[in-house]
Amino acid sequence: MRALLALTSLLAALVLAGCTDEARDALRPSQTGCYFTTGIGETHLTSEQAANAATISAVGLRDGMDERAVAVAITTAMQESELKNVEYGHDDSLGLFQQRPSMGWGSEEELMDPVYASFKFYEKLRRTDGWEDMTLAEAAQAVQVSAYPDLYEQWEEDATVIAAVFAGGKEGGIGCVKGNAPEVTADPELLAEAFAYHWGAEVSEVDGTTVVVDPSDAAEGWNRAAWAVARSYDYSITSVAYGGMVWAAGEDGWTEPNAEEDGEDAVAVANDSHAAVIITFAAA
C-alpha cells in the first residue's frame, strides 16, 4: 500500500510539474511479447504463445494446408491450451491441442511435441468432410468434439489475424519486443535444424552468425520471416531482414534501414533480402 501511495504521489507531482516525455516514458509499462497487425485487426501474444502459433502455421503450410486451416488450428489451440504446450489437462489430455493418448492421438511424448501435435490436428481436419464451409469454431469442434463447443468462437477474430501474418504472407505483420522463453540458445545451426523440422525444407545457408532462407515468392518469404521473428527470443535472434525491411527487437517493429543512421551495410542487407530472408544472431 505504501508503494502504491508513493507512486500515486509521484504521478501527481509530475503532472503538476508538467512532466517531460522522458518521464512519461519511464513510467509507462514496458511492452512485452509479440504484436500482430493486419488490415482486419490487431492482437497480442506472449513470446511463448507466438512461437507455438508459428510452429502450428509452419506445419500446416508444410503439409499443404491453407491460411484458413491454420486459423482453425490456432482457434483450437487458443481455447484448448491458451497456445501453451501444457503437460496436463482433463483426464489424460495434454499439449497445445489437449489431445489424449487414450483416444489414439499418439503417445504422451509425441503429443508434447508441438510439431507432431499440429500434424495430427491437420490430419484429422483434412479428413473432416466440409470443414472448408464451416466457421472456424465449427471446424475446431468437428476435430475436437469438445463438451463446450461454443467456447471456440471467442478466438476466431484473433486467430484470423494471427493466421494472416504467419500463413498469409502479411508484410511486416509481426513485431516482438521482449520475450519470456524459459530456455534460450544463440546457435544458428540449431535454428536451421528447427526450420527444417518445422517446414520440411533446408535453409539455404548458415554462415557464422547468419542464417539465410531462400523463399520461392514474396508470400513465402514473409511467412518465413514471421516465423523467425516469433522465434527471436528462444534463439536470441537480433534481426530479421526481408523485402527491403528489417526487424529488430524493440517497439519500432519493421523499418526501412537508413544509411545515415544504420549504415550502408544494413541497407545492403535489407535490399538483398528481396530474394532471401536473412536472420542474424549477435556475435559470440
Q: Of 143, 166, 189, which residue constitutes the final position of a domain?
A: 166
Kindly state whether residue 101 falls inside one of the protein's structural domains: yes
Look at residue 21 and tell me whether its pLDDT is greater than 80. Answer: no
Range of the domain at 230: 174-281
Q: What is the pLDDT of residue 11?
A: 39
Q: How many Å apart are CA 146 and CA 10, to the nearest integer? A: 50
Q: How many Å apart are CA 50 and CA 60, to the nearest integer? A: 15
User: What is the tens place of the pLDDT at every residue in 24-53?
Assistant: 444 344 457 999 999 999 999 999 999 999
- Do residue 181 and residue 85 come from a single domain? no
Q: Which amino acid is at 205?
A: E
> How much of the chain exceeds pLDDT 70, in percent?
80
Helix spans in 87-135 (H)? 108-111, 114-126
pLDDT band at 264 (very low <50, low <70, confident <90, very high): low
Kindly state whether residue 64 falls inside one of the protein's structural domains: yes
Q: What is the pLDDT of residue 27?
A: 38
Kindly state whether residue 239 falls inside one of the protein's structural domains: yes
pLDDT band at 253 (very low <50, low <70, confident <90, very high): confident
Count of domains observed in the chain: 2
Helix (H, G, I), strand (E, B) or coil at 118: helix
Contact present, 118 and 60 (Cβ < 8 Å):
yes
- Do residue 64 and residue 145 come from a single domain? yes
- Do residue 214 and residue 277 come from a single domain? yes
Q: Of 141, 166, 191, which residue constitutes the final position of a domain?
A: 166
C-alpha cell, 29: 509499462
Kindly state whether residue 251 falls inside one of the protein's structural domains: yes
Q: How many Å apart are CA 192 and CA 197, to the nearest integer? A: 9
Kindly state whether residue 151 falls inside one of the protein's structural domains: yes
- Do residue 142 and residue 239 come from a single domain? no
Kindly state whether residue 190 falls inside one of the protein's structural domains: yes
Q: Of 166, 201, 225, which residue constitutes the final position of a domain?
A: 166
User: What is the tens place of the pLDDT at every residue in 62-119?
Assistant: 999 999 999 999 999 999 999 999 988 778 889 999 999 998 999 999 999 999 999 9
- Do residue 85 and residue 61 come from a single domain? yes
What's the average model confidence in pLDDT over 264-273? 58
Helix spans in 65-105 (H)? 67-81
Helix (H) or strand (E) holding 269: helix 264-272
Q: Rounded to 5 degrees, what angle do the CA atoms 214, 51, 151 make? A: 125
The residues facing 240 across adjacent strands are: 247, 279
Kindly state whether residue 54 falls inside one of the protein's structural domains: yes
What's the average model confidence in pLDDT over 166-182? 83
Q: What is the pLDDT of residue 91?
A: 85
Q: How many Å apart are CA 70 and CA 56, to the nearest integer? A: 7
> How much of the chain exceeds pLDDT 90, in percent?
68
User: What is the tens place of the pLDDT at every residue in 137-169?
Assistant: 999 999 999 999 999 999 999 999 999 999 999
pLDDT band at 132 (very low <50, low <70, confident <90, very high): very high
Contacts of 177 (CB under 8 A, 6+ apart): 30, 31, 32, 33, 34, 35, 249, 250, 251
- Do residue 153 and residue 256 come from a single domain? no
- Do residue 131 and residue 156 come from a single domain? yes
Helix (H) or strand (E) holding 260: helix 259-262
Helix (H) or strand (E) holding 245: strand 245-248
- Do residue 140 and residue 218 come from a single domain? no
Look at residue 179 and tell me whether its pLDDT is greater than 70. Answer: no
Q: What is the dihedral of CA 138, 152, 36, 87, to 10 degrees?
A: -120
Q: How many Å apart are CA 168 and CA 222, to the nearest integer? A: 8
* Predicted TM-score of the model (pTM): 0.85
- Do residue 136 and residue 193 come from a single domain? no
- Pick from 39, 34, 29: which is nearest to 247 by CA? 34
Q: What is the pLDDT of residue 177?
A: 84
pLDDT band at 57 (very low <50, low <70, confident <90, very high): very high
- Do residue 137 and residue 188 come from a single domain? no
Q: Which amino acid is at 262?
A: D
Q: How many Å apart are CA 168 and CA 171, to the nearest integer? A: 9
- Pick from 58, 60, 33: which is nearest to 48 by CA? 33
Look at residue 9 and tell me whether its pLDDT is greater than 60. Answer: no
What's the average model confidence in pLDDT over 201-205? 96
Better-predicted residue by pLDDT, 60 or 182: 60
Kindly state whether residue 6 falls inside one of the protein's structural domains: no
Q: What is the residue-averaged pLDDT of the chain?
A: 86
C-alpha cell, 256: 526501412
